[in-house]
A and B are shown apart, each in its own frame.
Chain A
C-alpha cells in the first residue's frame, strides 16, 4: 500500500506496523504532526495515546510502559529532547527498549522551528548522565521515516536500549510517497525481565541502581560490551562512490543535498560521490573509511561541526588519519539549509 503523506505521519505509521502499543507525547513544532497522527490512529487500533504534561513526564511514562513489557514511543524536538535526557539515561540504565523521535529544530534555547542537526551530540553520543549509548538512526525521506522507525523498534528490542530516530524540521514537514509494510511485526516477549503484573513476572525487577561501586562498575563494563557488539548492526549507503575523487559525507537531509551536489559535479566532470551514515550510533566506521580512503572529504551538515568532528574521529580511528586531517565542512545553522550551489562551489574549491 502506497500513500502520499507528511513524513511526520509516516513515523506513526511505521510505529504502528512495528507493534508499538503506547504513545506518550507533548506537542512541539515541528514534531507535532507525529502526536496528531498518534492521537488519531493509536486509539483506532485499540492502542494507547497519552498526552503528557511535559516531556519529562512523557519519557518517564515510557519508562513505566517499557518496564511493563510493551513497545512505546514519543516524539519531540530540541527543547523537549533536552528535557528527556535524564529519562533516556534511566531507560539505558534499566536496559529498556523505547523509541524517541527527535525532529530537530534550531537552537540553542528557544531558537526557532526550522531545521537543524544541532542535537547531534545528545542524539548520537548520549545526552544524559552516565556511560550509555542509544541506537540512533537518521532518516532522509518520508519512506525512511516509516522504515527506520520500524528499525528503531527492532534495534531497541534487540539491544534492550533506547533508540533515537534523528530527523529535522524540513524532513518532518515534507510530503512524499511512502510504501507501507506488507505485514505488522509480531510483538516481542519481554516477560523474562518486565514487570507485567502476571504470575510469571512476579520476581522481575526493573532498576538502574547498583548501590555497590563494584557492582555498578561491572554493570558499566557489561553495557560497554553490549554497545561494542551493536556495531555489527551499523548501517550506511554510498552513491557514485566507486570512482570518486571527492566524497561528500552527510546524513539525513544533508545526504539528499549531497546526492544532488554529486550529480551536479559529475555534469562538469568532477568525480564526486557520497557516503551516508544511516545509523549514527553505531557509526559505520569501517564503511566510511573504505569509501573515503585516499579521497578528499567534504561534510555537509546543519550544525556547528559536531558531525564533521565525528567523521574525523571515525576516520582517524579506522586508520585514515590523513583523510581525517583534510576533512572540510560546509554547514548552515539557525534553520538555514545548505544550498546545492554552495556545496558545488565548496567541492570545486577543494580540487
Chain B
C-alpha cells in the first residue's frame, strides 16, 4: 500500500492519548482538509520549530493531536487574546490562531476584532461552517437566513436573530490588518486556492508583516444533515452567495515594516528607579510623638499636594511616613482630603480617625472633620470658612487668611503654600521649618523657579 505523505503532521497521534492515526473529524468535514493544508504549509515553509499554534474550543480543539509543532489550547473564544499574549511574549515565533465561527464570531468576536485592530503579529485562520459544530449544530453568527439549526428549528429568522455576520468585511474597516481574505475548501479548485492563502498567512508571520485573517468556508455534513457532496454543494451554492470569496486586502508587498516610536530606555531597574538625591530610609525613634494630620478642602485648592509636602518633610527627617488621599469620583470635583501620619515607629493603622492637626480650606470639610480632632489638637481654617460650629473642648482653633494672602501676593494658586506657612509658623508639625521649606521646593522639582517663588511667598506669609 502506498503511504500518503503527511507533511507537518504526526504519523500517529499520541497526544490524543491513544496510538491512532485517524482524526476525530467526521467524513466530509472541512476541518480535516484545512488541518492538512495548514500542516503542509507550516512544514513546507520550514516553520514547525518556530510555530506556536493557539487552538480553539470547538471542532478544532484537537488540532494539537495532528500538527507537529508547539500548541497552546485556549479557552472558548479567547484564541485571539491568547495569541496576543504568545506573540507579544515570543515575537520571533510564528503565532497562528485557529478559530471557528462560534468561537471567533460570537463569544470571542471582540477579542479577535481588537487584536486585529491592534495589528497583533499573529495569523488567524477562521473556519466558517455556518454553525456550531462540536456543541451540536446550533445557530452561529454566520448561520444563513432561513438555515435550520438546533436553535433555529424553524429556520433562522432575521427579524428575530439578525443577519449573517460578515467577519472579513467588518475587519476590513480596520487600518492595521495586512491581509484579509476568504477562501473555501468545498472542491479541489478551491482547496488549491485555500492552500496558497494559508501559505501566505504563514509567510506574513514569518516575515513579521503584521496581522492576517483568512476566513475559510467549510462544509459540516453532520450538522447540516447532508451527505458530504451535498454539504460541499451547500458551501458553494448557498454560503458563497452570502460570503463571497476573494481577497479583501493584501498589503504584504506594500506595507512598510512597523516602526515603534522611540521612548527613553533604561538598562536596569536600578537605573530606571534611581533617585537624583539619595532618599534615606526611615529610622525608628520611639521618642518622637506620632502626629496624625488631615488636610481638607475643595479639589483644586492644592490640598493633596499640601499633605504631600508635609509627608515629604517628614521623610526628609527620616520619620516613618504615610500619605493617603481621598480618591474616586470626589477627586474630580467637590471636596478632597488627605491624611498624613508621621511617626517615630512603624505605622499601624493608616486611617486618621482623630487628627492632631486638621487643616480646612472649606466649610464642608470643617463641619465634617472638626469634631474628630484629638483633645489638645489644633484646627487651622481659612478665614473664608464660616465657623458656625465650635470646635470640641480642648481643641485650639486658628483662623488664617491663606486664600486672601495668596490673592494679595498675586498667586491665587499658592493658597496651599500659605497654609503651609501657618503650619510652619505655629510649629505644630513636629517637623523643622527647614524641612518644610525643602519639601515645598522639592514639590516643584519640574518647575524649580516656582519652587523658589513659593519659598519666598511662604516666608512673607509667615511674617503676617
Known: A175-B323, A184-B268, A205-B70. A256 touches B349 (CB 8 A): yes
Contacts of A212 in B (CB 8 A): 17
Contacts of B52 in A (CB 8 A): 68, 195-197
Other-chain residue from B81, B272, B312 in contact with A56 (beta carbon distance below 8 A): B81
Interface centre among B93, B347, B349 (most CB of A within 10 A): B349
Contact between A61 and B82, CB atoms less than 8 A apart: yes
Other-chain residue from B81, B86, B268, B322 in contact with A174 (beta carbon distance below 8 A): B322
B1 sits at the interface (CB 8 A): no
The CA-CA distance from A144 to B348 in the complex, in Å, is 14
Contacts of B114 in A (CB 8 A): 52-53, 57
User: Could you list some 13 contacts between A and B, CB below 8 A?
Assistant: A17-B269, A57-B78, A60-B75, A63-B72, A68-B85, A90-B75, A175-B322, A176-B322, A176-B347, A205-B71, A259-B349, A339-B353, A341-B353
Chain B minimum-CB-distance residue to A257: B349
B128 sits at the interface (CB 8 A): no
The CA-CA distance from A4 to B281 in the complex, in Å, is 10
| A-B contacts besides A175-B311, A339-B351, 11 pairs, CB < 8 Å | A48-B88, A50-B88, A50-B118, A53-B114, A62-B85, A65-B89, A68-B52, A90-B75, A171-B350, A174-B323, A202-B48
Contacts of A238 in B (CB 8 A): none
Contacts of B75 in A (CB 8 A): 60, 63, 86-87, 90
Contacts of A351 in B (CB 8 A): none
The CA-CA distance from A17 to B74 in the complex, in Å, is 29
**Interface-lining segment among A22-30, A220-228, A318-326:** A22-30
Contact between A170 and B324, CB atoms less than 8 A apart: yes
Q: How many residue pairs at the A-B interface have CB separations less than 8 Å? A: 232
Name the distance in Å between B349's Cβ and chain A's nearest Cβ. 4
**Interface-lining segment among B61-69, B147-155, B188-196, B236-244:** B61-69
Name the distance in Å between A199's Cβ and chain B's nearest Cβ. 4
Contacts of B71 in A (CB 8 A): 195, 204-207
Interface centre among A16, A48, A68, A341 (most CB of B within 10 A): A68
**Interface-lining segment among A37-45, A154-162, A285-293, A308-316:** A37-45
The CA-CA distance from A148 to B437 in the complex, in Å, is 35
Contact between B50 and A16, CB atoms less than 8 A apart: no
Contacts of A199 in B (CB 8 A): 49
Number of residues from B at the complex interface, CB < 8 A: 71
Contacts of B275 in A (CB 8 A): 1, 3
Contact between A337 and B323, CB atoms less than 8 A apart: no
Contact between A63 and B78, CB atoms less than 8 A apart: yes
Contact between B348 and A56, CB atoms less than 8 A apart: no
Contact between A67 and B49, CB atoms less than 8 A apart: no
Chain B minimum-CB-distance residue to A16: B269
Contact between B266 and A177, CB atoms less than 8 A apart: no
Contacts of A22 in B (CB 8 A): 85, 88-89
Known: A16-B272, A113-B327, A175-B311. A61 touches B350 (CB 8 A): no
The CA-CA distance from A19 to B422 in the complex, in Å, is 47
Name the distance in Å between B140's Cβ and chain A's nearest Cβ. 20
Contact between B74 and A63, CB atoms less than 8 A apart: yes
Name the distance in Å between B284's Cβ and chain A's nearest Cβ. 12
- Which 8 residue pairs are nearest across A and B when measured between Cβ atoms? A197-B93, A64-B85, A260-B348, A195-B70, A60-B81, A207-B73, A64-B82, A61-B85
Other-chain residue from A46, A173, A198 in contact with B327 (beta carbon distance below 8 A): A173
The CA-CA distance from A114 to B275 in the complex, in Å, is 32
Contacts of A60 in B (CB 8 A): 74-75, 78, 81-82, 85, 111
> What's the interface size class on A, roughly?
35 or more
Other-chain residue from A41, A197, A260 in contact with B95 (beta carbon distance below 8 A): A197
Chain B minimum-CB-distance residue to A180: B273
A70 sits at the interface (CB 8 A): yes
A340 sits at the interface (CB 8 A): yes
The CA-CA distance from A24 to B89 in the complex, in Å, is 11
Contact between B265 and A195, CB atoms less than 8 A apart: no
A298 sits at the interface (CB 8 A): no
Contact between B89 and A45, CB atoms less than 8 A apart: no
Contacts of A207 in B (CB 8 A): 64, 71-73
Residues 174-218 of A contacting B (Cβ, < 8 Å)? 174-177, 179-180, 184, 195-199, 201-209, 211-212, 215
Interface centre among A67, A141, A169, A173 (most CB of B within 10 A): A67
B264 sits at the interface (CB 8 A): yes
B435 sits at the interface (CB 8 A): no
Contacts of B48 in A (CB 8 A): 202
Interface centre among B54, B270, B273 (most CB of A within 10 A): B273
The CA-CA distance from A10 to B282 in the complex, in Å, is 17
Residues 267-314 of B contacting A (Cβ, < 8 Å)? 268-270, 272-275, 279-282, 308, 311-312
Chain A minimum-CB-distance residue to B279: A2
B129 sits at the interface (CB 8 A): no
Contact between A68 and B86, CB atoms less than 8 A apart: yes
B320 sits at the interface (CB 8 A): yes
Contacts of B279 in A (CB 8 A): 1-4, 177
